[in-house]
Amino acid sequence: MIPVSHIFDQSILAALLDHDPVVQEYRAFFSLIDWSLVDRWERCQSSHRRPPLHPESAYIKAFLLRIREGLLYSTQLRQFLLKHPLLIIDFGFHLVLDPQAPYGIDAYRTLPSRFWLGKKLRLLDQSLLQQMLEATVSALQAQIPGLGETVAFDVKHIYAWVKENNMRAYVKERFNKDQILVGDPDCTLGVKRSTNQEQEDGSSKEKKEFLWGYGSGVAAATTPDYGDVVLAEYTQPFNEGDITYFRPLSHRTALALQHFPTHITADAAFDAWYVYEAAVRHGGIAAVPLNQHGHLVYERASDGVPLCPKKLRMQPTYQFDHTYGYRAQRFRCPLLFPHATGEGCDHGQFVKGKGCVKDVNWEKGALMRVTLNRESPLYKAIYTQRTSCERINSQAKELGIERPKVHNRRSVANLNTLTYVIINVRALSRAISINRGLLPMI
């Protein structure tokens, strides 16, 4: 709706909307987002809810503006919109008309309060935001051939807005993981990084850097010509390990792409058999550094069969379903199974008459994990693409993802999803521009 005032009639206000540089900038940006998803969501909600004060799209546009403009607080967002009343009209807020005002609206009465803007950010439907992110992936697929053949995974730390993260403030029991913080009851304590420091006696001591907050898991892809895009994201409290992000991210990635990626890459925190399994099922590899996670290392033959401490190839006996959820193969001493050879061995288990026994994960992904040639050109080429996540994290940090000024998990998660929508819309704009330049002049 275009209002009318004693200064500008509707035709002049329409012309102002069409020529205001800020309005035009956001119209161009929002044109790359599929708003039909929001309209459909609103129609589904209207059957069992009273009519909303403002359209859902108006709120989402306002929150996207908040992130793009680097506005940390709801107060700043409201002040920005009050200074740009044409944006209030163009975003679709239900207007409180005032013909005596320059633009025909009472901006202060039209805009929600600072309190409600903060509450609304928490109440946004996360599934709707995920659909919007998926729609940007589909749009990028239409512009970038082969997008998502290789997918990289990583986790970005996020500081909760609590005094416990302020090292200058005195806090009793700052790193007591069992407490619930007043500033943000949803955040948890986790280790940001762990390093070994050399002591005076030559020994090393592990030093851990703790923070209260969240983790933002991201699945990303890159191409030489078009750059980096986000395929999926997932937010959890910071006490969850990096590997716990893989399955939800993998699921969301497949939904967004409408196919499974061929290759996967990630850092050593993602070294788990089911990560490799996700790649081997589709004819690819998982370029992940080997991480024994503190377990004892034993040698394997080239086909994954374990070698005993005497370097002998062990004998397979039977398979069974392991309690950890994979198919396992039991291997036993080759000097005793399937028949005793009469040869001797000084190993303690052999002396007892049992011989060495190893239960090995025998899934295809587990076998790839221990037999993968991590010096091959294919491995190195795929592992190099892991840096796409680092560049995405860098963009997200510039947009303020690292230190959000909100007090709950849902608000953090919603801000994260909207941040990645912005990153993808930028990538989409870039891809459209590149493709337009590649078209032959007619």
Tens digits of per-residue pLDDT, 381-431?
999 999 999 999 999 999 999 999 999 999 999 999 999 999 999 999 999
pLDDT category of residue 205 using cuts at 50, 70 and 90: low
Buried b (16+ CB within 10 A) or exposed e, 100-132: ebebbbbbeebbbeeebbbebbeebeeebbbbb
Q: Which one is predicted more confidently, 280 or 296?
A: 280
Average pLDDT over residues 298-312: 90
283 and 331 co-located in one domain: no
Q: Are residues 103 and 46 in the same domain?
A: yes
- Looking at the structure, tell me whether residues 52 and 111 fall in a common domain: yes
- Band of residue 442 on the pLDDT scale cut at 50, 70, 90: very low
DSSP structure class, residue 333: -
Domain's final residue, options 95, 124, 153: 124
442 domain-assigned: no
Measuring CA to CA, which residue among 324, 303, 301 is closest to residue 311?
Answer: 301
31 is a domain residue: yes
Identity at 420, one-letter amino acid code: Y
Same domain, 182 and 224: yes
93, 124, 155 - which closes a domain:
124
Are 92 and 219 part of one and the same domain? no
Whole-number pLDDT of residue 295: 67
Residues 282 and 180 in one domain: yes
Strands 327-332 and 357-361: antiparallel
Total domains in the chain come to 3
Residue 219 counted as domain residue? yes
- Percent of the chain whose predicted confidence (pLDDT) is above 90: 80
Task: Kindly state whether residues 87 and 187 are assigned to the same domain.
Answer: no
Residues 148 and 249 in one domain: yes
Q: What is the pLDDT averaged over residues 157-186?
A: 94
With bands split at pLDDT 50, 70 and 90, how would you rate the model's confidence at 207? confident
Cα separation of 75 and 79, whole Å? Answer: 6
In this structure, the answer to whether residues 242 and 351 fall within a common structural domain is no
Q: Are residues 86 and 161 in the same domain?
A: no
pLDDT of residue 417: 98
pLDDT of residue 28: 97
Q: Within a domain: residue 432? A: no
Q: Does 25 reside within a domain?
A: yes
151 vs 344, higher pLDDT: 151
Structural domain contains residue 34: yes
260 and 396 co-located in one domain: yes
What's the average model confidence in pLDDT over 432-442? Answer: 79
Contact indicator for 246, 270 with CB cutoff of 8 Å: yes
Segment 287-297, tens digit of pLDDT: 999 987 766 77
Statement to judge: residues 35 and 175 lie in one domain: no
Predicted confidence (pLDDT) at residue 229 exceeds the cutoff of 70: yes
Which pLDDT band holds residue 53 (cuts at 50, 70, 90)?
confident
Domain residues for the domain of 93 are 10-124
Kindly report the three-state secondary structure assignment for every residue of 145-158.
CCCCCEEEEEEEEE
Q: State pTM to two decimals.
A: 0.92
Dump pLDDT digits (tens) for 174-200: 999 999 999 999 999 999 877 665 556
Exposure pattern of 217-239 as b/e (b: 16+ CB <10 Å)?
A: bbbbbbbeebbbbbbbbbbbbbb
Which pLDDT belongs to residue 440? 66
What mean pLDDT value characterizes the chain?
92
Confidence of residue 438 (pLDDT cuts 50, 70, 90): confident
